[in-house]
Amino acid sequence: MANKILFKLSLKRISILFMLISFFLFSGHQLLAEGQEGDIEIGVNERLGQTANLDYLFFDENGDSVRIQDLVDRPTIVSFVYYSCPSICSPLLNGLSHAVNKLKKVPGEDYNVITISVNEDELPLLARQKKSRYLQGMDTDVPENAWRWLTGNSENIKGFSNELGFGFKRVGEDFAHPAVVMMLSGEGKITRYVYGVNFNQFDLQLAILEASEGKVGPAIAKVMKFCFSYDPEGRKYVFNFMRIMGSMVLLCAAVFVMFLVITGRKNKKTT
């Protein structure tokens, strides 16, 4: 009789265990799919440590044809914006120019900056106007070739942005895109992603030093990317409540499975 009861309990535990494992695998797949779906269209799919293909052709602010691989000959900060942007691009460029203004590193010697428009309809004239406006408002002397402002066709824009894991999408006359700058080494290795529109000069200084040594920056941004999702309508990152709750459910399920296994072993020993 006792063996029969234990057998029924064991079957019950196995059934519960099977359901929990199935739930765990299904939910994990859903969360992974959600994260991949967001990365592909709008947001950042980090490619830290990878060497980007720099064989892409653009036009600089003077209308001259330039190849990215000819511009990245030292640590280089890359930002994707569009020059007629009504919202997030101006704060990002303001934050970047403010940080560059305070850096102890020398632009054109220790590092370069490249700003690229994601709008294929924008022309070098607009890029030149933007460059003039920002550089004239800075105290630091930034040589002409130290900060390049580029435009290009959709094929090259999409190709190079994909190389860096930068996802954007046209929405009417505007573009939905994340607020981030990327750091490349002189060999084109992606060494760091710096998120936001306010950039600490010490963070950028460290990023430049890391890039000069070919070192990859911290991966804490991956945790932030998991907890926050990009909202294209609000043009900002928002806390992903459903993703966090799903992770907590998975964690609780895993703990419960372990509890069932451990108590099952204890009961077996007692019997």
Residue-wise pLDDT tens digits, 68-102: 999 999 999 999 999 999 889 999 999 999 999 99
176 and 74, same structural domain?
yes
pLDDT of residue 240: 56
- What confidence category does residue 33 fall into, taking pLDDT thresholds of 50, 70 and 90? very low
Assess if residue 230 is contained within a domain. no
135 and 154, same structural domain?
yes
Cα separation, 214 vs 93, whole angstroms:
25
The residue range of the domain holding 189 is 43-221
Assess if residue 7 is contained within a domain. no
254 and 157, same structural domain?
no
pTM score over 0.75: no
pLDDT in tens, 186-228: 999 999 999 989 888 888 999 999 999 998 876 444 555 455 4
Assess if residue 155 is contained within a domain. yes
**What distance, in Å, lies between the first and last C-alpha atoms of the chain?**
13
- What confidence category does residue 140 fall into, taking pLDDT thresholds of 50, 70 and 90? confident
- Tokens representing 192? 């760091």
Q: How many CB atoms lie within 10 A of CB 88?
A: 17
165 and 89, same structural domain?
yes
CA torsion angle 140 146 151 153 (round to 10) = -160
Query: Number of folded domains in the chain?
Result: 2
